[in-house]
């Protein structure tokens, strides 16, 4: 009998043990896939908010979060007058609450902002945006969970505002958010004259370095970064990504311990069988290969089950009304490949000691083993 057939036969003979070992890997794969997809999807959505029809971001230096950044109107006007700048759109970020929805992202923008002009308007018109500072505008998902239509009133905080329009976007944060004219948002959040960031589109992309230098020299309290450069350096994004990988790896460590325990119990339960294999000509390398091969098959079966479980969980989370469309999973081929590699490495590591122990079995003594 060939070694691959023997490996498969051993697993089929011990189905319960195989299921337990595969389950540990499956839960690790599902947890890592779900956490990474949700976190990276959220980061991607926020990045797309910042990069809508813009190439650079201007914000306050040394802030831990863009919600705390403050760019004054005088600086915004000065940036608009730069000969390198084609357009500059200020955005004020905030968090508002309604009954049953304690956290809703709010965007204070101007009528000329690309996200207003490029959105699909389900009800109302972009021409009405900002013509009356008592009106708010809802993303399509926000209109659903707030159960509000154009002309109706919604309670935001302690105030009630008329809905002026409903717009649909591809971005989960925006689609589940509330839009206010910039001046209205500044009053609501008591930040008159300030915005969180300024999204910049240059006349010529080759002038990027020059633009950054001019912002640094003319506005010492501000800094400008290219969108991609900002995404790579933004502390919150790095913390979220590192946390996601950390949680995923911890889940796999638990799965690896399960595989190690399963394989070790398998070796102890087959001491006489391993001795017979050694007597019939199996080398130590072949015995170790058999144990590692069984572990790798467990990882493969567990990974397939884990992907089914993980994608199923993501599909449910994406459609949960309580999450207001904020979950938009993102699973690239690179992430999937990385998860598979971690699963295989975990399984090999989990099989290392059982395989070594199997090679230490002495056939003459093991045949007398009860």
Please write the tens of the pLDDT for every residue from 30-48. 888 887 777 777 666 666 6
CA gyration radius, the chain: 29
Q: Give tens-digit pLDDT for 274-296.
A: 777 777 777 778 777 887 887 88
Pairing of strands 197-202, 159-168: unpaired
- Asked whether 348 and 259 are in contact (CB, 8 A), the reply is no
In sequence order, the 6+-apart residues with CB closer than 8 A to the CB of 166 are: 121, 122, 123, 124, 137, 138, 139, 140, 143, 149, 150
- DSSP for 210-252, please give it: HHHHHHHHH-TTEEEEEHHHHHHH-HHHHHHHHHHHHHHHHHH
- Reply yes or no on whether the pLDDT at 180 is more than 60: yes
What's residue 18's pLDDT? 72
- Asked whether 302 and 24 are in contact (CB, 8 A), the reply is yes
Q: Which tokens in the block code for residue 24?
A: 């540990």
Distances from the Cα of 8 to the Cα of 1, 4, 290, angstroms: 11, 6, 10
Report d(CA 21, CA 296) in Å as an integer. 11
Distances from the Cα of 352 to the Cα of 25, 107, 140, 142, 275, angstroms: 16, 54, 53, 52, 19
Q: How many CB atoms lie within 10 A of CB 240?
A: 17
Across residues 178-189, what is the average pLDDT?
92
Lowest model confidence (mean pLDDT) among 103-112, 139-148, 354-363: 354-363
Q: Is 104 buried (19+), middle (13-18) or exposed (0-12) by CB count in 10 A?
A: buried
Q: Which tokens in the block code for residue 123?
A: 């009800």
Report d(CA 354, CA 291) in Å as an integer. 7
Q: Give tens-digit pLDDT for 63-109.
A: 877 778 899 999 999 999 999 999 999 999 888 888 777 778 889 99
Report d(CA 161, CA 144) in Å as an integer. 16
What's residue 138's pLDDT? 92
Report d(CA 235, CA 233) in Å as an integer. 6
Across residues 242-258, what is the average pLDDT?
72
Lowest model confidence (mean pLDDT) among 207-221, 279-293, 301-315, 326-340: 326-340
Confidence band of 10 (pLDDT split at 50, 70, 90): low
What's residue 325's pLDDT? 55
Q: Residue 226 phi/psi, 5° resolution? A: -65, 150
Question: Which one-letter DSSP state was computed for residue 132?
Answer: S
Q: Which tokens in the block code for residue 269?
A: 């339960």
- Asked whether 134 and 171 are in contact (CB, 8 A), the reply is no
């Amino acid at each position: 009998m060939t070694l691959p057939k023997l490996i498969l036969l051993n697993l089929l003979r011990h189905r319960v043990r195989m299921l337990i070992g595969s389950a540990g890997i499956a839960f690790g794969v599902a947890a890592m896939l779900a956490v990474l997809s949700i976190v990276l999807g959220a980061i991607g959505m926020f990045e797309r908010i910042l990069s809508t029809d813009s190439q650079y971001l201007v914000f306050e230096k040394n802030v831990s979060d863009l919600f705390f950044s403050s760019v004054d109107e005088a600086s915004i006007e000065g940036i608009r007058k730069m000969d390198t700048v084609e357009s500059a759109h200020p955005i004020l970020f905030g968090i508002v609450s309604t009954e049953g929805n304690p956290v809703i992202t709010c965007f204070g923008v101007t009528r000329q902002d690309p996200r207003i002009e490029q959105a699909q308007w389900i009800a109302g018109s972009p021409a009405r945006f900002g013509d009356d500072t008592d009106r708010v505008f809802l993303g399509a998902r926000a209109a659903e969970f707030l159960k509000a239509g154009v002309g109706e009133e919604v309670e935001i905080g302690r105030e009630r505002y008329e809905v002026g329009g409903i717009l649909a976007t591809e971005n989960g944060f925006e689609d589940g958010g509330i839009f206010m004219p910039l001046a209205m948002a500044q009053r609501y959040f008591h930040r008159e004259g300030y915005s969180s960031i300024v999204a910049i589109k240059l006349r010529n992309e080759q002038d990027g370095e020059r633009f950054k230098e001019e912002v640094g020299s003319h506005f010492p309290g501000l800094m400008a970064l290219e969108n991609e450069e900002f995404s790579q350096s933004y502390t919150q994004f790095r913390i979220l990504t590192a946390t996601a990988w950390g949680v995923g790896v911890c889940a796999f460590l638990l799965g690896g311990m399960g595989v190690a325990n399963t394989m070790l119990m398998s070796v102890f339960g087959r001491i006489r069988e391993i001795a017979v294999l050694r007597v019939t000509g199996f080398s130590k390398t072949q015995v170790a290969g058999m144990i590692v091969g069984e572990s790798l098959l467990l990882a493969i079966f567990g990974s397939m089950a884990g992907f089914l479980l993980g994608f199923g969980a993501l599909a449910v989370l994406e459609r949960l009304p309580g999450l207001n469309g904020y979950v938009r999973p993102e699973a690239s081929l690179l992430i999937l490949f990385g998860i598979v590699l971690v699963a295989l490495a975990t399984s090999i590591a989990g099989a290392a000691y059982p395989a070594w122990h199997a090679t230490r079995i002495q056939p003459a003594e093991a045949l007398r083993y009860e």
